[in-house]
């Protein structure tokens, strides 16, 4: 998994780890039962026509087979619902607000901060130049250690806003005006690639962008230099 750069990504990672541990434990039990049945309930050489002991219509075992999966699913549901509620919570008080427009085939970011606006417009990128060290496409600049609210829009078809380092993605639906999520960035400056995760047309693969996390002072300078202009 990518190293998360938001507080919400830590919840996602924890939920993912817990689910894998539970799944592995269940797998070990199932594999053990299969091997046990193969070893002790196979046909015997000295009596090939004799069936091994049968457990059909065994009420305690059937109750066990029903109750245990219900308990497991309930536990999974509880933790998933708990973490999803936290991850999808939007307070409306984030100091940085970003309007994301996904269109065929690029992104437009409009950042609002302390009454100032910075706009970054993109065009389809050259895939030959794309790399982790040199990410192509429009770049969204955000401060570290800050709450950021995203509002997603699309004028044409369904896109999906995905930054792997957020351990999160959300679809961008045309005509939906209340499609929002909120993150809190960690103190990890850097540049992180993003892309569209929903097949949206012939140049879907060129819908690349990057998110640059910078210290608050550098972000203030960026907003001051970009306010009211389009890059």
Instruction: Output the pTM of the full model.
Output: 0.81
Residue 110 tokens read as 């409009």
Residue 32 tokens read as 């053990």
Give the pLDDT means over successive 10-residue stretches in the chain (231 positions).
89 93 93 89 72 77 90 94 94 94 93 89 73 74 95 95 94 90 94 94 92 94 76 44
CA distance 70 to 167: 28
Burial class from Cβ neighbours inside 10 Å (0-12, 13-18, 19+) for residue 7 reads: middle
Q: H or E segment at 28?
A: helix 7-40
Q: H or E segment at 92?
A: none
Q: List beta partners, residue 154.
A: 174
**In the prediction, which pLDDT does 183 show?**
95
**In the prediction, which pLDDT does 141 show?**
95
CA distance 74 to 70: 6
Domain residue spans of the chain: 7-87, 96-226
CA distance 103 to 199: 12
Q: H or E segment at 220?
A: helix 216-226
Superfamily of domain 96-226: Cupredoxins -  blue copper proteins (2.60.40.420)
**In the prediction, which pLDDT does 134 show?**
59
Residue 180 tokens read as 């929002």
CA distance 63 to 66: 5
Closest of 172, 200, 170 to residue 182, by C-alpha: 170
CA distance 21 to 72: 13
Q: H or E segment at 81?
A: helix 59-87
Residue 16 tokens read as 């993912």
Q: What is the DSSP letter of 128?
A: G
Q: Judge whether 14 and 171 are in contact, CB under 8 Å.
A: no
For residue 183, what are the contacts with CB-CB under 8 A and spacing of at least 6? 6, 7, 8, 147, 148, 150, 166, 168
């Amino acid at each position: 998994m990518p190293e998360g750069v938001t507080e919400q990504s830590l919840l996602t990672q924890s939920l993912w780890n817990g689910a894998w541990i539970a799944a592995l434990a269940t797998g070990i039990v199932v594999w053990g039962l299969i091997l046990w049945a193969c070893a002790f309930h196979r046909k015997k050489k000295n009596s090939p026509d004799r069936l091994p002991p049968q457990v059909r219509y065994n009420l305690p075992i059937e109750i066990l087979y029903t109750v245990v999966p219900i308990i497991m699913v309930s536990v999974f549901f509880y933790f998933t619902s708990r973490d999803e509620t936290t991850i999808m919570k939007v307070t409306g008080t984030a100091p940085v607000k970003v309007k994301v427009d996904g269109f065929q085939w690029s992104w437009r970011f409009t950042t609002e901060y302390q009454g100032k606006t910075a706009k970054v417009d993109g065009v389809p990128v050259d895939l030959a130049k794309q790399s982790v060290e040199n990410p192509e496409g429009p770049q969204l600049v955000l401060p570290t250690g800050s709450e950021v609210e995203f509002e997603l829009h699309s004028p044409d078809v369904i896109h999906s806003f995905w930054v792997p380092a957020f351990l999160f993605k959300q679809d961008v639906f045309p005509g939906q005006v209340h499609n929002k999520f909120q993150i809190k960035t960690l103190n990890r400056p850097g540049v992180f690639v993003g892309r569209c995760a929903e097949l949206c047309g012939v140049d879907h693969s060129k819908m690349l962008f990057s998110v640059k996390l910078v210290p608050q002072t550098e972000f203030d300078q960026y907003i001051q230099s970009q306010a009211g202009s389009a890059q």
